[in-house]
């Protein structure tokens, strides 16, 4: 079983915890000569590939560095503009490194608060009365399992597709949450979870789960 991430959303819909687990980092470095055979989109926040996928550099990947100098959005770390560097023929050959974009914390908070109304809509759209909200969401590259407690806290696990047995994992995470978060006197309810013990226990649990589902039963 491969787990990609764990998210906890509070009763009021805010993301209070997220943990990325085991996301493969795809990075590709290649030396280009002028003119560059990729179509790039120069956004002030990131430079991404729009067209011209090849050698593992896919559409959607973002520029990480030029000649080993990190790119920070549209500018390089040494202050030069990315677009100017790439379009200047005198700079070539250029060594460009691309990688799959990673979600920033802000984007995660945004997505978590987006899932909240979706969950509520699902329960209202239901043809049967008294429906729960979304419990499983499947896509071709992942499944999202959501467990809402009676008090309204949502636990979400993102795993590889067609994965079963995640409901047990969610219950175990709930137990960890009630032990290591709520019994921590310095944690105030509804606030982001910054408890090292919880992180450690969760990490251990996920590792145990990845070794095999039977290990779930053991504490």
Partner 1 sequence: MSRQTTRFDAKKVNSELLTLTYGSFVTQMLRDYENVDDVNKQLERIGYNMGMRLIEDFLARTSATRCLEMRETADKIQNAFRMYLNVQPTIANWSAAGDEFSLIFDNNPLTDFVELPQDLTNLRYSAILCGCIRGALEMVQLEVQCWFVQDQLKGDNNTEIRVKFIRRLEDAIPAGED
The answer to whether 52 and 39 have CB atoms below 8 angstroms apart is: yes
CB of 180 to partner 1, least distance (A): 11
Q: Which is nearer to partner 1, 103 or 122 (CB)?
A: 122
Q: How big is the site for partner 1, counted in residues (CB under 8 A)?
A: 27
Q: Which is nearer to partner 1, 111 or 122 (CB)?
A: 122
CB of 37 to partner 1, least distance (A): 50
The answer to whether 148 contacts partner 1 (rule: CB under 8 A) is yes
Q: Which stretch binds partner 1 (CB under 8 A): 27-35, 50-58, 83-91, 114-122?
A: 114-122
Residue 131's Cβ-count burial label (10 Å; 0-12, 13-18, 19+) is exposed
Task: Please list every residue from 151 through 180 that binds partner 1, using CB under 8 A.
Answer: 151-153, 171, 174-175, 177-179
The answer to whether 137 contacts partner 1 (rule: CB under 8 A) is no
CB of 197 to partner 1, least distance (A): 15
Task: Please list every residue from 24 through 53 that binds partner 1, using CB under 8 A.
Answer: none
Q: Which is nearer to partner 1, 25 or 219 (CB)?
A: 219
CB of 178 to partner 1, least distance (A): 4
Taking each helix axis from N to C end, the angle separating 166-176 and 196-211, rounded to the nearest 10 degrees, works out to 160
């Amino acid at each position: 079983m491969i787990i990609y991430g764990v998210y906890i959303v509070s009763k009021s819909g805010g993301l209070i915890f997220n943990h990325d687990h085991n996301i493969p980092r795809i990075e590709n470095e290649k030396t280009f000569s002028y003119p560059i055979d990729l179509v790039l989109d120069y956004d002030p926040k990131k430079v991404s590939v729009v067209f011209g996928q090849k050698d593992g550099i896919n559409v959607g990947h973002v520029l990480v560095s030029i000649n080993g100098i990190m790119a920070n959005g549209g500018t390089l770390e040494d202050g030069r503009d990315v677009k100017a560097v790439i379009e200047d023929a005198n700079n070539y050959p250029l060594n460009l490194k691309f990688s799959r974009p990673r979600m920033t914390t802000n984007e995660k908070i945004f997505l978590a608060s987006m899932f909240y109304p979706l969950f509520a809509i699902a329960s209202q759209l239901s043809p049967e009365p008294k429906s729960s909200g979304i419990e499983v969401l499947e896509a071709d590259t992942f499944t999202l399992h959501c467990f809402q407690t009676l008090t309204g806290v949502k636990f979400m696990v993102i795993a590889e597709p067609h994965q079963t047995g995640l409901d047990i994992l969610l219950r175990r995470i709930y137990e960890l949450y009630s032990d290591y978060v709520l019994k921590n006197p310095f944690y105030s309810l509804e606030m982001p979870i910054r408890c090292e013990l919880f992180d450690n226990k969760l990490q251990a649990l996920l590792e145990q789960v990845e070794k095999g589902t039977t290990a779930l039963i053991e504490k």
